[in-house]
Structure 1
Amino acid sequence: MSKAKEAEFRPNDYVVYPAHGVGQIISIEEQEVAGLKLELFVISFEKDKMTLRVPTNKAADIGMRSLSSPAMIDKAMNTLKGKARVKRAMWSRRAQEYEQKINSGDLISIAEVVRDLHRNDDQREQSYSERQLYEAALERLTREVAAVSGADEEQAAQRVGDVLTSRAA
Structure 2
Amino acid sequence: MSVKKRAQKNKSKAAEKISKKKVVKKNMVKKASTKKASQKRAAPKKAAPKKTSSKKAVPKKAAPRKAAPKKAAPKKTSSKKAVPKKAAPKKATPNKTATKKIIKKKESPKNSSEKRNVAKKEEFLPEQYVVYPSHGIGQILLIEKKEIAGQMLTMYVIEFEKEKMTLRVPIEKTKEIGVRKISTKNQLKDVFEILTGKAKIRRTMWSRRAQEYETKINSGDIKLLTEVVRDLFRSDSQPEQSYSERQLYEAARERLSREVAVIEKTDEQKAIEKMETILNNSNVRNEELSTEN
* Separation (CA, whole Å) in 2 of partners of 1:111 and 1:4: 33
**1:3 corresponds to which of 98, 110, 116:** 116
- Tell whether the 8 Å contact from 2:198 to 2:283 is kept in structure 1 after alignment: no
Among the aligned pairs, what percent are the same residue?
Answer: 53
Match of 1:12 in 2: 127
Question: Runs (4+) of structure 1 moved beyond 4 Å?
Answer: none
- Structure 1 partner of 2:257: 142
1:98-146 superposed Cα distances (whole Å, 9 cap, x missing partner): 0000001100000000000000122222111111110111011100000
What is the aligned-residue RMSD (CA, Å)?
Answer: 1.2
**Alpha-carbon separation, structure 2, partners of 1:6 and 1:89:** 44
Q: Which amino acid aligns with 1:23?
A: G
Q: Alignment partner for residue 197 of structure 2, among 77, 82, 92?
A: 82
SS in 2 for 1:77: helix
Matched, 1:126 2:231: no
Change (3 A) 1:120 1:64: same
Map of 2:209 onto structure 1: 94
Give the aligned residue type for 1:101: K
Partners of 2:205 and 2:116 in 1: CA distance: 47
Q: Structure 1 regions of 5+ residues with no counterpart? A: none
Distance 1:46 1:165 in 2: 30
Between Structure 1 and Structure 2, which shows a larger proportion of helix residues? 2
Which secondary structure state, in structure 2, belongs to the residue aligned with residue 61 of structure 1? helix
Query: Aligned equivalents of 2:117 and 2:135: distance in 1?
Result: 25
Partner SS for 2:140: strand
Contact 2:139 2:158 in 1 (8 A): yes
TM-score (norm 2): 0.56
**Which of 224, 231, 245 pairs up with 1:116?**
231
Residues 39-80 of structure 1: CA deviation (Å, up to 9, x unaligned): 110001111111111111100111110000101111011101
Aligned mate of 2:157, from 34, 37, 42: 42
Letter in structure 1 aligned against 2:150: G
**Offset at residue 5 of structure 1 (A):** 4.1
Higher RCO (C-alpha under 8 Å, 6+ residues apart) = 1
1:25-49: CA deviations, max 9, x gaps? 0001111211211111000111111
Counterpart among 121, 136, 151 of residue 266 in structure 2: 151
Count of residues in Structure 1 that have an aligned counterpart in Structure 2: 169
* Matching of residue 22 in structure 1 with residue 22 in structure 2: no
Task: Tell me the amino acid that sits aligned with residue 65 of structure 1.
Answer: R
Partner of 1:59: 174
